Structure 1
Amino acid sequence: MAAEDPAVFTSSTLPSDPRLLATVTNAYLGTRVYRDILHANGVYNGAAGDTHRADIPSPVNVRMSVSAEGSLSETFSLDTRRGTYIHTIQSSHYTVTHRIYAHHSLVHLLAFSITIQKSALQTEPVTVNLHTQFTPKSPDLDLHRGADFEGAHYLYGKTLIPEVEGGPKPTIHLIWTPVPQSVTLSGDETEKTWEFLTAIAKSEEDVKKYFHEGKSLIASGFLYEYHTQAWAKTWQGCCVYVDGPLSLSQAIYGCLYYLLSASPPIGSYDFQFSGISPGGLSNGTQNEDYWGHVFWDQGGKFPWESAATGQEVCPEKIYGDQEIHINGDVVLAFEQYYHITQDLKLFQEGGWDVVHAVAQYWCSRVKWNPEEQNYHINGVMPPDEYHQDVDNSVYTNVIAQRSLNFAIDLGSQLCIPIPEEWKEVRKKIKVPFDKTRRFHPEYDGYCPGEQVKQADVVLLGFPLLHPMDSEVRRNDLNMYEPVTDPTGPAMTWSMFAVGWLELKEPERAQHQLSKCFSNITEPFKADMGGEL
């Protein structure tokens, strides 16, 4: 018996909660299958504090059914290896396949197909009913019908409310193949496929160009092949294979799929990528997955959430004001990229500006404490969001120190003079530590036993790699594991798992990793843990 493919998630039923349906996305377009809306990269509606991904009516919201006597079996699959959702209906004499995908290289295209295959014993026609409730309306867009193009319908418009007063209102242009009520394979045919295409862009010229290109590839039989080839190239560069239970491999494929499907494909792309938001492009309407905001966008003082302009749009002001560790988190990503690639070109062509600006930000944010003879960072919210307006969050101060370390080292690599202030702050910034109990207090005045929301101090070990001996590492894990909210974000427990693996305690690590798995939902491995 062939082993089950860990990259394909299959079920005979659909989840009752529509949030758990499979998503098909790329860096520009995204939708949840059987949902009446889709979203496009950078297209937001609403003023700051209320801005959210604009709901665009979805022509790919189509369900199929077969009216037939006799026994029928159905399966619903998400093929993460090929970035495709597949619905199959099968009888003893024919198979019907509905395939939906967001093209992984031609990112302005969404497509679906219906294929009917029948055996020689089936001499009667086979009809598949197509159910769609598409309406050319949106609460976020002023939409208008345009003249049909190459047999397809055309819709265009712009958002209603700009993010900032006087700011731009993103435009959207949509061309899609009309969907009939049914398709039929005649009695003398054995197989036929019907292809349906949707193109979305920000101008009429572009949307017509992309639709024509997609239609030409359908005619030559290469549209889906180019999509799967692009996915194969993506997986070749980043797949993770593990020994262990099938559920572990499935979890890894699922997590990677939802991340990679929202990222630009390998190679060039012809649009400005606005970043990945929680839940990806398939979600982000009002009151859903942070409203589609992008976390930790551009600048020296990074916004907690941003949309189209890069300015702060978080509905709750305190996060943007106080959870400033994100500035260091972004620079940590730059640092990890550099250590992996040794690519100085990125920093010569603009990356240094970000590293420099964040270093300057930290130096402007610290305050000299004459009693302790060190620099403090006061009035912050640590990663643990149950606490606010605290002084010297240990994670925040260590990430600031690490930002400055990297800025100093990188400046030397680029032969750029380094301000002495950077070196002084890096050397003398306070890192809270309890010498008696030999652990890191989360912030000045933290009382052991006080509940925390999520991984915070334990992040000092990984990913920050802050120097400490094994006793301190163990004390931090033992101190914070029992007081971390069990309903907090699922990402928390993987950080404890890493810590216990460092200390060569695999059983405790496995226990924490199992907590992560409990948030991966069936059947399509969507992660509903805590933050999302």
Structure 2
Amino acid sequence: MLFFLLIIPSIFILVRTVSIEESNSRTTFNTNKLPRIGPLLDFRLVLYIGNGHVATVVYSDFIYMNGLYNGENGTSHRARIPSTVNWKFKLRPRSSLYTLNVSSGKKRLFLHRFYLIIFVGIFIETLENHEVRIERRFFASQEYTELLIIHAVLIRKAPKGRKIIVPVKVHEQITSIDINFTVVIRNSQYVLLFGKTREIENNQFQKEALSLFVYYTPLTTKVLELDKEETNRTYLFVTSIDNNQTIAKQSFDYATIEQQADVILSSDISRWNDVYSNGHIDIEGDDELQRQINSAFYYILSSLPPLSTKSERKQFYGLSPGTLSQGGRSGEDYRGHSFWDTETWILAKEILSYRIGLRDSASYNARLFGYEGWRFPWESARTSVDVTPACCPEGRLYEIHITGDIAFAARQYISATYNQDWLLNEFGGELIYETVRFWGSRAVYNNETKQYEILKYLQNGIKLYKNKENAEVK
């Protein structure tokens, strides 16, 4: 459950189908160029799709799954799953017009654009000329969170009578520096990969490597086609990822066999609209500020598990500053670690549940330093032992205010929800009690001042306080 520290009126949002060009500019971002560094896409700035379980930066080489980390202790980072959705149209750039070989090899100029529709969580790439409109729609399913889905839609604009052929470039990658993959099944319907991470984060709290199963639709041909008498055709490409093979396969079958592509898309749009209909922020007279707020809503909501889903509830493993779509490389978005006072700027039950779910590690962390209660690490990943890199030992030792941030979030959550069941039956009360025990054992009594003091802590990330005078808490 997600709460912002604001009172937001409930506003009904009408669900209707409109063309992309007619969509509200405050809820639809569009461009004819993606950010680049020289000839390469700048994946720090390219948008992503996600649902709290799986996420990817569009056109990038990797997919990430919540809780899937590789590396020991301070080297732990998000494990990189090779992207199964990163095929491309064969294009030759020419400003915002692109040359695409279609219809018997003839070269046609296309207008090329990209759209992110905030309130329905869909990224769309379009190519269009007088013959055909091509749409590629990316979304991470809210209905079944194991799913990443692409619709490739060909819509005829020219008269019938000629086949339209759209060439694509396929670069299938099934190896990973973080995961040892095996191809279990490959046929015309799907490919099944089974993988295990190569390194364990901490052998006390993680006894074996992490497993995952990846089902995906193979791109068996290098072209997409529209037959002579067809007016439109939709190609469906599905990826399903989970650590439980049965769940991964059930979700894949639902999207590829049991349900029509347009029904899945409509269901996803409806679920996004349900979220926004329960509350959002409207700004009058400042479209740019409204766009920024809408963008923030999208990135936060697509990083957390959906409120309404048919998937089984899974343990959530925290929210890192760079979202679920980053963190596989050293130096990239804190390697996907959860920290940086997340609980002070976003309030979600799932984030508190992450801390509670790994409470044994928090208790161990406190005892390791000679204290009582639960001490939460400055940087946390799969096991909640401290995975702060070796570069920053001061943070690991003295950035203790993270435990106070988490206690503050618990207070805010109770103030917003009055959820006594969480306190009594979901370890919320224990979270509050054990953080109090930690602070009680962390403080020392000064006989001269007749006050308790907290010594040796790090402030503003740069200055270490060790003496009584500047470490005093009154």
Could you say which TM-score interval applies, normalised by the shorter chain?
0.7 to 0.9
1:150 Cα offset (Å): 7.4
Identify which of 163, 169, 173 aligns with 1:131.
169
Identify which of 287, 296, 314 aligns with 1:255.
296
2:417 equivalent to 1:314: no
* Residue 353 of structure 1: aligned partner: 430
Please identify which structure carries the higher strand content. 2
1:328 Cα offset (Å): 1.2
Q: Is the 8 A contact 1:100 1:113 kept in 2?
A: yes
* Distance (whole Å) between structure 1 residues aligned to residue 182 and residue 23 of structure 2: 51
User: What is the DSSP-based 3-state SS (H/G/I as helix, E as strand, rest coil) of the residue aligned with 2:267?
Assistant: helix
Cα 1:291–1:93 shift into 2, 3 Å: same
Q: Is the 8 A contact 2:200 2:208 kept in 1?
A: yes
2:101 equivalent to 1:67: yes
* Distance (whole Å) between structure 1 residues aligned to residue 133 and residue 458 of structure 2: 56
1:430 Cα offset (Å): 2.8
1:252 Cα offset (Å): 0.7
* Residue 35 of structure 1: aligned partner: 60
* Distance (whole Å) between structure 1 residues aligned to residue 177 and residue 158 of structure 2: 50
* Distance (whole Å) between structure 2 residues aligned to residue 198 and residue 218 of structure 1: 15
Cα 1:2–1:90 shift into 2, 3 Å: closer
* Residue 335 of structure 1: aligned partner: 411
Of stretches 288-297 and 257-266 in structure 1, the one that deviates more from structure 2 is 288-297
1:93 Cα offset (Å): 3.1
Number of residue-to-residue matches in the alignment: 397
- Once superposed, what is the RMSD of the aligned Cα atoms? 2.2
TM-score, normalised to structure 2's length?
0.79
Of stretches 286-295 and 220-229 in structure 1, the one that deviates more from structure 2 is 220-229
Cα 1:393–1:310 shift into 2, 3 Å: farther
Cα 1:2–1:203 shift into 2, 3 Å: closer
2:383 aligned partner, one-letter code: T
1:392 Cα offset (Å): 7.5
* Pairing 1:104-503 to 2, within 5 Å after superposition: 104-121=142-159, 123-148=161-186, 151-165=189-203, 167-179=207-219, 180-219=221-260, 221-267=262-308, 269-287=312-330, 288-295=332-339, 298=355, 299=362, 300-315=374-389, 316-349=392-425, 350-382=427-459, 384-390=460-466, 430-431=473-474
1:42 aligned partner, one-letter code: G
Q: Which entry has the higher C-alpha Rg, 1 or 2?
A: 1
Q: Is the 8 A contact 2:69 2:197 kept in 1?
A: yes
2:45 equivalent to 1:20: yes
Using the aligned pairs only, state the percent identity: 27
User: What is the DSSP-based 3-state SS (H/G/I as helix, E as strand, rest coil) of the residue aligned with 1:227?
Assistant: helix
* Distance (whole Å) between structure 2 residues aligned to residue 195 and residue 157 of structure 1: 24
* Residue 77 of structure 1: aligned partner: 115
* Distance (whole Å) between structure 2 residues aligned to residue 72 and residue 389 of structure 1: 62
1:217 Cα offset (Å): 4.6
Q: After superposition, what is the alpha-carbon deviation per residue over 1:141-200, rounded to whole angstroms, capped at 9, x for unaligned?
A: 111011237710111110011011362211011110011311111121111111110111
* Distance (whole Å) between structure 1 residues aligned to residue 23 and residue 84 of structure 2: 36
User: What is the DSSP-based 3-state SS (H/G/I as helix, E as strand, rest coil) of the residue aligned with 1:248?
Assistant: helix
* Distance (whole Å) between structure 2 residues aligned to residue 71 and residue 88 of structure 1: 13
Of stretches 287-296 and 121-130 in structure 1, the one that deviates more from structure 2 is 121-130
Please identify which structure carries the higher helix content. 1
1:331 Cα offset (Å): 1.3
* Distance (whole Å) between structure 2 residues aligned to residue 78 and residue 391 of structure 1: 52
* Pairing 1:500-511 to 2, within 5 Å after superposition: none
Q: After superposition, what is the alpha-carbon deviation per residue over 1:466-514, rounded to whole angstroms, capped at 9, x for unaligned?
A: xxxxxxxxxxxxxxxxxxxxxxxxxxxxxxxxxxxxxxxxxxxxxxxxx
Moved over 6 A (4+): none
User: What is the DSSP-based 3-state SS (H/G/I as helix, E as strand, rest coil) of the residue aligned with 2:458?
Assistant: coil
* Distance (whole Å) between structure 2 residues aligned to residue 301 and residue 346 of structure 1: 21
* Distance (whole Å) between structure 1 residues aligned to residue 410 and residue 278 of structure 2: 19
* Distance (whole Å) between structure 1 residues aligned to residue 127 and residue 337 of structure 2: 38
Q: Is the 8 A contact 2:271 2:308 kept in 1?
A: no
Greater RCO structure (CA 8 Å; 6+ sep): 2
* Distance (whole Å) between structure 2 residues aligned to residue 248 and residue 392 of structure 1: 45
* Distance (whole Å) between structure 2 residues aligned to residue 246 and residue 393 of structure 1: 49
1:22 Cα offset (Å): 1.2
TM-score, normalised to structure 1's length?
0.71
User: What is the DSSP-based 3-state SS (H/G/I as helix, E as strand, rest coil) of the residue aligned with 2:75?
Assistant: coil
Cα 1:241–1:311 shift into 2, 3 Å: same
1:20 Cα offset (Å): 1.1
Q: Is the 8 A contact 2:169 2:222 kept in 1?
A: yes
* Residue 135 of structure 2: aligned partner: 97
1:289 aligned partner, one-letter code: D
Cα 1:191–1:318 shift into 2, 3 Å: same
Cα 1:143–1:348 shift into 2, 3 Å: same
Q: After superposition, what is the alpha-carbon deviation per residue over 1:434-459, rounded to whole angstroms, capped at 9, x for unaligned?
A: xxxxxxxxxxxxxxxxxxxxxxxxxx
Q: Is the 8 A contact 2:378 2:396 kept in 1?
A: yes
Q: Is the 8 A contact 1:195 1:218 kept in 2?
A: no
